[in-house]
Structure 1
Amino acid sequence: MESKRFSGFDLERELSVHWLRWTLLAWGVIAGWYLWNRWGQINGLALGDTDDNMRLMQVRALLDGQGWYDLRQYRLSPPGGLDIHWSRLVDLPIAALILIFKPFMGTPMAERLACGIAPLFPLGVTMAALGLTVRRLIAPAAWPLAIIILMGCTATMLMFVPLRIDHHGWQLACLALTVAGLADPRRARGGLTVGLSSAASLTIGLELLPYCAIAGAIVTLRWVWDGGEVRRIQAYALSLAGGSTLGFAVFASNANYAMRCDALTPVWLSVTIASGMLLFALSLLNPASRAARLGLAAVAGAAIAGGFAGLFPQCLSRPEGVSDELYNTWLNNVREARPIYKHSFAMGFPIAVLPVIGIIGAAVAAMRARTADQLVAWVAIGLFTAFAGAMLLWQIRAGPAAQLLAVPGATALAWIVVPWFLGHKWMPVRILGSAAAFLLVSGLFAGFVVKYVKVDTPKPNRAVVARANARCMSAAGMSLLDRSLPPSTLFTHVDLGPRLIVMTHHKGIAGPYHRNERAILDVHHAFTGKPEAFRPIARRYGAQYLLVCPNMAESTVYRAREPNGFYGQLAKGKVPAWLEPVRLPRKAPYRLWRIRYDRR
């Protein structure tokens, strides 16, 4: 007995029985390493994404007394402000951390710590949910392998790093919980998990709406195939409808009471409630015939789809509800909204590899399933992963979800393949073969491929643009603007707006948020139009200064669209007389002018 303890038997038992304790310990180690490794960025509040900057501004506004249901950002597009279609749900952990740290170290450092720590919470939820999934479907001790593979999911892990405070990490955590619910053999608990995680995801935002719909379809099809699944579909139906209603009542902003298609508004709330009621009604009927259940499910699906099309025809096109001009001018240029094949090999290949492996792994695991519940769960995960992989052909922003969903399938494949090599009689095969097999089935080999296989031709100005983006967004650059001017309204690039209001006392004009079509188009019209058209637009917002970042990515769009437009002429040194230069330090990344208006 003692020999078994020292030979690893007790370790396996410990990992199986106390898996959650060890998962939390692993999360703590990973979180600690992230905080140590990125402390410089945290201390400099280096929020690199516009959405992360805007999220912090939303939290600041809440803590400064702005209404719970008022999510307008009043320091952009003055005087009325910009409508932000988000939910307060993601603001809560950030605000709570700021309130905890503030008495001990002051507001600035409390904000930095909150932005560094908050993204690590959904990572912990995701690790636990994936561990639960592979324990249920593969083996009780398989969860460490899933966590290791998750750590190699580059696109997914970027959503959990310190300072990534926007909602994507929490939505991925909801998706991981949904998969755990689909894998749950206890029907009522599994349905409840899927319903509540879907409702929470929809409350946060609609980015994962297709995945929520697929999860609901899987729950329904399980009931169609097996009438004994009635408790699962009942729990799912009630929790989806009830959770969405609660999420809307507590977290929907005043603006989201309009019949919009881009958030959990009355449009999508009516869909979730109707879907829940219809599914619950079907479960009460629960005919014995599989064909009858399929017919009822088809009628319910047709009723929901037909009702949606009839009542909300405006939502059958772009959910953002933007004009063709805004789509072509701005939204079509958003990199993450482009399909994977329009990105470089170095970016696309590592993202696409793991979903393919995950699909293969889920298929193999389904063929080896020991129970009907495991078979259905693996089929569901395989379909989920295949759907996410197909979404990459639409937008590369599906990459984090696609990699996350591939983890269970990749773990199953590794659980089968790696032990075969470890048990081989030849030492070189055991060492080299097992290492190579893990690199292959985990998708980690993709990093070596893109490192040594050069198939992309780098654009000559890419480094220049990247340097300009970094310098203009930096805390050092922003501090120059804070010190050089009294609080003012600066007319500047759309992508610079959120960072400007976070790091300075100034106001901006626009941010990259689709509900603010007029402000975004005004900025583009001002920079691409004739010089004489600029001042009337700037006057509308009360702008006192013009701020540009030469070679910033957005500025290349202006120059490409209208080389002789206002920005194009500024870039060539043709500055109109009504722009008065403002002296900045020689190494400043910006150019700044005071706007002189005609006196009337």
Structure 2
Amino acid sequence: MTISIRSLLHRPTAAHPLIDHPLVKRGAVVLDRRWINLTLIAWIFIAAWYIGQRWTAIQWLSLGDTDDNMRLMQVRALLAGQGWFDLTNYRLNPPTGFNIHWSRLVDLPIVALILLLRPFVGNAEAERLACGIAPLIPLSLALIGLGATVRRLVSSLAWPLAIAVVLVTNVALGMYMPDRIDHHGWQLAMLCLTVAGLCDPRDARGGVIVGLASAYSLSIGLELLPYAAMAGAIIALRWMWDAGERTRLAAYALSLGGGTAAGFAGFASYANRVMRCDALTPVYLSTVVVASALLLALAFWSPRRRGVRIAAALVAGGIVAAFFALAFPQCLGRPEQVSPELYTSWLANVREAKPIYKHPLRSAAPIVALPIIGLLGALFATWRARRTPSLLGWTCVALFTAFSCLMLLWQARAGPAAQLMAVPGAVALAIAMLPWIAGPRWWPAKLAAAAMTYVLVSGWFMTLAVRYLPIDRPNAYVTRVNRATGRCLTIPAMQPLNAIPAQTVFTFVDLGPRLITLTHHDAIAGPYHRNGDAILDVQHAFSRSPEEARAIMKRHGATLLLVCPNMAESTNYRAKAKNGFYDQLAHGKAFSWLDPVPLPAKSPFRAFRIG
């Protein structure tokens, strides 16, 4: 299936009249030999475009997600002198603080940018610029990983097509937009490098890339643990089929075990050094080390008979599974380990954690279009490569693409990974359509065919289609809720709150992280499962009787109540707790222990002193 430069440059001149032109040949050689440099140049232009396009949002510090706000708070705490391994956020649920289960690994580029820019523009502007630039950094690695994959399997000149497909992904590209400073972009970049390593013809290099990329991702978080496990399974399958893959297997085992151990030693917080199931803790560190040791032993043994290798690999897999189940039975259920009440009232309602088929067609269709196309392309390319050396590489890509599509049936948050994993298959389809594109003699027809191919194989047609199809359009109620939520999270809305003396504010769970980021006030909770008791306290206060609400607020030392009418979270309290405290407050009932606090006339908030 692989198309070399030589084959491209020596097509019949009747079909490609310009292919023998010296400038074309020279350009093709440059595209091949300098592809990494050219990819980085393209990335610089892409980054500059999005920074310019979103400059206003960068200046308003539009960290739309609670995780982005918490990431900035984590960076601020580090720069203020908080311990490297202490990731407690003391601005939430004071005085004990809020347990954040992340690592410092993703903080480093943000910290570096702030320190670099601060002497020139001041701290506040340095923060804004760092939040705008940092998310785009891992995009360069993602583009290089995908470029390497399509160069090896499709054509040495195909890497620009991979960039073009990535640029129209609706959810994957969103993970790299300015102000999206959470860790997902880095993990997705590691996933792209993982696929490149799986199809790397150099065994040792490929194994090291997969092992280190998996270890890096695990050191950040467990979101892509299933993909790391799948990558390890594919490398083991390659060895089971061909004992000559022992070098790749040994390099993978050493880099995975060593990289994960180094990630734990360097970045695991104090709170992650106990037997928890939701991060790289001793639970997963020991499991990865056991698995790596067994894989290394298999690589050194490498019996000649395929049947023996298969049996040995199955036994090793059984040992790892038994070790995990017997040593850490508490981790066989949900890794968050939340109470049944919290799961029912909160975690089960997280939209991105629901399967893709439970989402409205208007939002689901653009997400799944590219993964389906990419899977079809990968299967088509695998079939075409059945008698070529690239068969093994395409088999790995097809397996990984199929696995990514299946993950969408588990959680919609798998969408970005599924879209990126679909890029090689989509590019393969585009290259296969080159004869049809080059067929017309009239140049406008060629360009129209190329544009149509791009729109189809990239899945962009679905993103364009849903804009005009009368399906699942948000109604007036949803629009009002979204508008209210957006207003309350802005700097103009929050800044007047700084005129009130700093104190502990009792507010919605989803408002807490943004409040502590933009004001000098402390809050009670944020949407993070390790702090389930605080989340339940907020839910109970707004849902139960006014007497219980006051007692909960007093217990947390809150002296100010802040609500955002019609914010998404508030609608839950009104709908599910009729005549509860918030429902009564929303209907205008006054309470003797609440004194209204004056706010600007256009403020979307209502504030009360708690007596």
Which TM-score band (shorter chain)? over 0.9
* Aligned pair partner of 1:540 in 551, 555, 571: 555
Supply the distance in 1 between the matched residues of 2:112 and 2:228 (Cα, whole angstroms): 28
Q: Determine helix, strand or coil for the equivalent of 1:224.
A: helix
The AA in structure 2 aligned to 1:541 is: H
SS in 2 for 1:8: helix
Please give the alpha-carbon distance, in whole angstroms, between the structure 2 residues aligned to 1:180 and 1:307: 31
Partner of 1:468: 484
Question: How much has 1:335 moved relative to structure 2?
Answer: 1.4
Secondary structure of 1:592's counterpart equals strand
Q: CA deviation at 1:382?
A: 1.2
Change (3 A) 1:34 1:457: closer
Q: 8 Å contact 2:362–2:473 — kept in the other structure?
A: no
Q: CA deviation at 1:140?
A: 1.0
Say which of 498, 501, 506 aligns to 1:482.
498
Instruction: Provide the residue aligned with 1:60 in structure 2.
Output: 76
Select between 386-395 and 497-506 the one with higher mean Cα deviation. 386-395
- Counterpart in 2 of 1:515? 530
User: What amino acid sits opposite 2:128 in the alignment?
Assistant: R
Out of 98, 103, 107, the residue aligned to residue 91 of structure 1 is 107
The 10-residue stretch of structure 1 (447-456 or 525-534) with the greater mean CA deviation from structure 2 = 447-456
**Partner of 1:498 in structure 2?**
513
Cα displacement string for residues 249-285 of structure 1 (whole angstroms, at most 9, x for unaligned residues): 0000000011000000000001110010000001111
| Map of 1:36 onto structure 2 | 52
Cα deviation, residue 438, structure 1 = 2.1
Shift of the 18–370 alpha-carbon distance from structure 1 to 2, 3 Å rule, reads: farther
Shift in Å, 1:5? 5.1
1:357 aligned partner: 373
Aligned length: 595
Matched, 1:188 2:220: no
Task: Tell me which residue corresponds to 2:398.
Answer: 382
Query: 2:431 — aligned with what?
Result: 415
Secondary structure of residue in 2 paired with 1:73? coil
Residues 185 and 373, structure 1, Cα contact 8 Å, conserved in 2: no
What is the DSSP-based 3-state SS (H/G/I as helix, E as strand, rest coil) of the residue aligned with 2:561? strand
Q: For residues 292-326 of structure 1, give each alpha carbon's deviation from its aligned partner in whole angstroms, at most 9, with x where no partner exists.
A: 00000000001111111111111111011111111
How far did 1:427 drift? 5.8
Distance, in Å, in 1 between the alignment partners of 2:476 and 2:436 is 48
Q: Partners in 2 of 1:521 and 1:24 — Cα distance?
A: 47
* Structure 1 equivalent of residue 319 of structure 2: 303
d(CA) in 2 for partners of 1:263, 1:570 = 39
What residue identity is the alignment partner of 2:229? A
Counterpart of 2:92?
A: 76
Shift of residue 66, structure 1, vs aligned partner: 0.3
Native 8 Å contact 1:55 1:165 kept in 2: yes
After TM superposition, give the deviation of residue 436 of structure 1 in Å. Answer: 1.7
Structure 2 CA distance for aligned equivalents of residues 433 and 120 of structure 1: 32
Amino acid at match of 2:284: W
Correspondence for 2:310: 294
RMSD of the alignment, in Å?
Answer: 1.5
Query: Aligned equivalents of 2:305 and 2:388: distance in 1?
Result: 19
1:131 aligned partner, one-letter code = G
Q: Of the candidates 528, 539, 542, which is equivalent to residue 524 of structure 1?
A: 539
- Is 1:367 aligned to 2:383, yes or no? yes
Contact kept? 1:336, 1:396, Cα under 8 Å: yes
Deviation per residue, 1:327-353 (Å, 9 max, x gap) = 111111211111112212121001001
Q: TM-score normalised to the size of structure 2?
A: 0.95
**CA distance in 1 between partners of 2:199 and 2:332 (Å):** 32
Change (3 A) 1:281 1:543: same
Distance 1:448 1:562 in 2: 40
CA contact (8 A) 2:106 2:183 kept: yes
Q: Is the 8 A contact 2:170 2:463 kept in 1?
A: no
CA distance in 2 between counterparts of 1:192 and 1:21 reads 22
Match of 1:162 among 158, 178, 184: 178
Q: Deviations over 1:148-207 (max 9, x none)?
A: 001111100000000000000000000000001001000010000000000000000000
CA drift of 1:369 comes to 2.0
Q: Does 1:591 align with 2:606?
A: yes
Q: Does residue 131 of structure 1 match 2:151?
A: no
How far, CA to CA, are the matches of 1:438 and 1:407 in structure 2? 12
Q: Which structure 2 residues correspond to residues 78-477 of structure 1 after superposition, within 5 A?
A: 78-369=94-385, 373-425=389-441, 430-477=446-493
- Measure, in 2, the Cα distance between the counterparts of 1:321 and 1:373: 46
Which amino acid is the alignment partner of residue 317 of structure 2? G
Instruction: Verify the 8 A CA contact 2:503 2:522 in the aligned structure 1.
Output: yes
Residue 526 of structure 1, CA deviation: 0.3
Unpaired runs of at least 5, structure 2:
1-8, 10-17
Retained in 2: the 8 A contact 1:79–1:541?
Answer: no
Q: Percent identity?
A: 57
Per-residue deviation, 1:290: 0.3
Hey, what's the Cα distance between the residues in 2 that align with 1:373 and 1:3?
26
Structure 1 residue 48 corresponds to structure 2 residue 73: no
Partner of 1:564: 579
2:564 to 541, 546, 549: 549
Contact map agreement 1:149 1:442 (CA 8 A) in 2: yes
**Larger displacement relative to structure 2 (30-39 or 439-448):** 439-448
CA distance in 2, matches of 1:552, 1:318: 29
Aligned residue for 1:580, secondary structure, equals strand
Deviations 1:474-515 (A, max 9, x none): 0100101112x0111100000001000110000000011000
Aligned equivalents of 2:177 and 2:338: distance in 1? 31
CA distance in 1, matches of 2:381, 2:43: 27
Displacement after TM superposition at 1:431 (Å): 3.6
List per-residue Cα deviations over 1:428-477 (Å, max 9, x = no partner).
Answer: 75343332222111111112221222221533311111111111000100
**CA distance in structure 2 between the aligned counterparts of 1:52 and 1:321, rounded to whole angstroms:** 23
Q: Which residue of 1 aligns with 2:12?
A: none
Contact 2:546 2:580 in 1 (8 A): yes
Q: Distance in 1 between matches of 2:315 and 2:19?
A: 62
User: d(CA) in 2 for partners of 1:167 and 1:30?
Assistant: 20
SS in 2 for 1:132: helix
With normalisation by structure 1, the TM-score equals: 0.97
Cα shift at 1:11: 1.3
- 1:575 is displaced (CA, Å) by 2.2
